[in-house]
Amino acid sequence: MTDYNMVASRKEQTLQLFNVKFLRVCACLGVVLVHLGQRIELTGKLRTFTGGGGTGVYLFFILSGYLGFYSYNKRVNIKEYYLKRAFRIIPLYYSVIFLNMLMYGVFWNLTEYAKPVDNYKLGWLRYFLFLNQSIPAWDDFWKNLNATWTIPYFIMYYLLAPMLFKIISSYKKSVLFLAICWGIRHFWAWDWFEPIKGLYYFAVGILVYYAIVEKKENVTYIGIGLYTFLLILFDKINSGVMGYVNCFAIVFLASFYISTNYVGLMNNKFLVKLDEYSFTIYLGHAFVMELMNIIRKLVILNKIEVFLLFGTGTVIVCLLLQKCIVNPFIIFERKMLNYIVK
Which of 9, 26, 68 minimizes the C-alpha distance to 271?
26
DSSP alpha helices (H): ranges in the chain?
A: 10-39, 44-51, 56-74, 78-110, 125-128, 141-144, 151-167, 171-187, 199-213, 217-233, 242-254, 269-276, 278-298, 303-321, 327-341
Please tell me the total number of residues recorded for the chain in this structure.
342
What is the C-alpha separation between 213 and 220, in angstroms, rounded? 12
41, 224 Cβ separation under 8 angstroms = no
Which of 284, 276, 290 minimizes the C-alpha distance to 95?
284
Dihedral, 291, 293, 297, 301 alpha carbons, nearest 10? 90
211, 220 Cβ separation under 8 angstroms = yes
pLDDT digits (tens), the chain, 342 positions: 444 444 444 444 545 578 888 899 999 999 999 998 888 888 888 888 888 888 999 999 999 999 999 988 876 678 888 988 999 999 999 999 999 999 999 999 988 888 999 999 999 999 999 999 999 999 999 999 998 999 999 999 999 999 999 999 999 999 999 999 999 998 998 889 999 999 999 999 999 999 999 999 999 999 999 998 888 877 666 667 888 999 999 999 998 877 555 666 656 778 888 999 999 999 999 999 999 989 988 898 888 999 999 999 999 999 999 999 999 999 998 888 887 765
pTM value? 0.91
Distances (CA, A) of 226 to 66, 90, 220, 222, 253: 22, 39, 10, 6, 16
Amino acid at 225: G
What is the C-alpha separation between 151 and 332, in angstroms, rounded? 22
What is the C-alpha separation between 38 and 49, in angstroms, rounded? 11
